[in-house]
């Protein structure tokens, strides 16, 4: 349909509603009715502007609340870690050769508390036993072995971590390869 046809149809529709068959451009309405329509249009425009402003304010408030919630979550996670860092600093400052057993025991307790804090936040170590899995392991070396099947993990160089199903850090491992003579 061409724009001329659309214009003709709009003119026909306007003429059907216009008094005495007058064209839409020639239509006259009482001044009071015109002022009422102007006022109504202004009220609707004002409502639309207010609604848009309210929507923008709600969007900004929700974004700010989400940011604040994220910050609070990180703070809740970090708080127990900070306590353990303090414990580690105290242990290191009091380390003496004659009290090595107590020192080792204290550092072991701090390690367990750190692991507990990570676990409480849903962060778990990657399993590093059995066959190499490229999705969660990174091979840093291969070592000949007749006792362990090819591609199985012999040693963990660095532990990997995951948060739920998301990998945070891959585990660095040494895997077995067949010996040259066997």
173 burial via Cβ count (<10 Å: 0-12, 13-18, 19+): buried
Mean pLDDT of 47-66: 96
SS3 50: helix
Between 5 and 94, name the one with better pLDDT: 94
The pLDDT tens digits of the residues spanning 130-155 come to: 999 999 999 999 999 888 899 999 99
Q: Provide CB contacts within 8 A for 68, sequence distance 6+.
A: none
> What is this structure's pTM?
0.54
Domains of the chain: 1-121 (no CATH), 123-182 (2.30.22.10)
Q: Tokens 């900070």 sit at which residue?
A: 82
């Amino acid at each position: 349909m061409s724009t001329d046809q659309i214009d003709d149809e709009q003119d026909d529709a306007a003429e059907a509603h216009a008094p005495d068959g007058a064209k839409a451009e020639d239509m006259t309405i009482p001044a009071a009715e015109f002022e009422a329509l102007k006022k109504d249009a202004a009220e609707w425009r004002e409502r639309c502007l207010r609604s848009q402003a309210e929507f923008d304010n709600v969007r900004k408030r929700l974004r700010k609340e989400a940011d604040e919630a994220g910050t609070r979550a990180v703070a809740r996670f970090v708080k127990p870690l900070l306590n353990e860092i303090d414990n580690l600093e105290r242990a290191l400052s009091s380390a003496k050769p004659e009290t090595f057993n107590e020192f080792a025991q204290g550092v072991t307790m701090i390690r367990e508390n750190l692991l507990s804090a990570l676990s409480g936040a849903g962060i778990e170590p990657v399993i590093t036993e059995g066959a190499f899995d490229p999705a969660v392991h990174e091979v840093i070396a291969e070592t000949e072995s007749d006792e362990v099947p090819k591609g199985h993990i012999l040693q963990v160089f660095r532990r990997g971590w995951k948060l739920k199903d998301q990998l945070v850090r891959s585990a660095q491992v040494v895997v077995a390869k067949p010996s040259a003579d066997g």
